[in-house]
Amino acid sequence: MAIYFEAGTHTITTTISNEHIRSTLQVIDQVMSEINDLSLEVSRVSSTTDKYRDIKITDYVPDIEKRLARWIDSLKKQYDELAEYSTEDGNIGALSALNLAIEKLESLAEEPNKIPYRIKELSTSSSSQTSILQT
């Protein structure tokens, strides 16, 4: 976008607002909080992740699959809403962290009973869901 001025003194004012992304930030914050809660629940149940011990987490956290599905749906909706502001087709660089979080949640949702062995992917490692969503 080009702006042309005639000779003389001019004043330009710009305003930065997060109004268009405020709801997305709130949803991400809520999802991160719920992921942390789930991580604590799973950790309490599976206090030791002995590779020779089978833990069927769906017996202890029966709504785990519904939670994962809800988070995936919420994040996909936010991605789609933000993508409307882009002129790019396909993957949008600014939304890559959100897309990565969705993909990782989908991976966890495929085999929820393996979550106790993949607990770091939820909230404790640098590549966890909460770390990705914070970027």
| Whole-number pLDDT of residue 18 | 79
Reported pTM: 0.78
| Distance of alpha carbon 76 from alpha carbon 24, whole angstroms | 11
> Do the beta carbons of residue 2 and residue 100 sit within 8 Å?
no
> Do the beta carbons of residue 128 and residue 121 sit within 8 Å?
yes
Kindly report, residue by residue over 106-131, the tens digit of the pLDDT. 999 999 999 988 888 887 666 677 77
Rounded to 10 degrees, the C-alpha dihedral 15/17/19/20 comes to 90
Q: Say how far residue 54 (Cα) sits from the centre of its chain.
A: 28
| Whole-number pLDDT of residue 128 | 72
Sign, Cα dihedral of 97, 100, 102, 105: negative
Kindly report, residue by residue over 23-71, the tens digit of the pLDDT. 999 999 999 999 999 999 998 888 765 667 778 999 999 999 999 999 9
